[in-house]
Amino acid sequence: MRRQVVIIGGGPSGLLLSQLLHRDGIETIVLERRSRDYVLGRIRAGVLEWGSVEMLRTAGVDGRMNDQGLVHGGTYLAARNRGFRIDFEARVGRKVMVYGQTEVTADLYAARDAMGGEIIHEAEGVAPHGLDTAAPWVSYVKDGTEHRIDCDYVVGCDGFHGVSRGCIPESVRTEYERIYPFGWLGILSEVPPVSHELIYANHPRGFALCSMRNPQLSRHYIQVGLDEKAEAWSDDAFWDELRRRIPQDAADTLVTGPSIEKSIAPLRSFVCEPIRWGRLFLVGDAAHIVPPTGAKGLNLAISDVHYLWQGLRARYGDGEEEGLARYSERALARVWKSVRFSWSMTTLLHHFPEQGAFGQRIQDADLAYLEQSEAAQTALAENYVGLPF
203: annotated active-site residue: no
**Could you confirm whether 180 is annotated as catalytic?**
no
* Number of helical (H) and strand (E) elements in the chain, helices listed first: 13, 20
Separation CA 212–CA 168 (nearest Å): 38
Catalytic residue flag (residue 142): no
Distance CA 257, CA 199 (A): 19
* CA-closest candidate to residue 186, choices 248, 259, 268: 259
Contact status, residue 159 vs residue 285, Cβ threshold 8 Å: yes
Catalytic residue among 76, 153, 200, 221: 200
353 in active site = no
**Residues facing residue 264 across a β-bridge:** 185
Catalytic residue among 12, 193, 291, 292: 292
Active site residue 296: yes
Which one of 220, 296, 350, 351 is the catalytic residue?
296
Q: How many CA within 13 A on the CB side of residue 182?
A: 21
Cα distances from 195 to residues 51, 187, 254, 262, in angstroms, run 24, 16, 9, 21
Q: Are strands 74-79 and 199-202 parallel, antiparallel or unpaired?
A: parallel
- Residues serving a catalytic function are 72, 200, 292, 296, 384
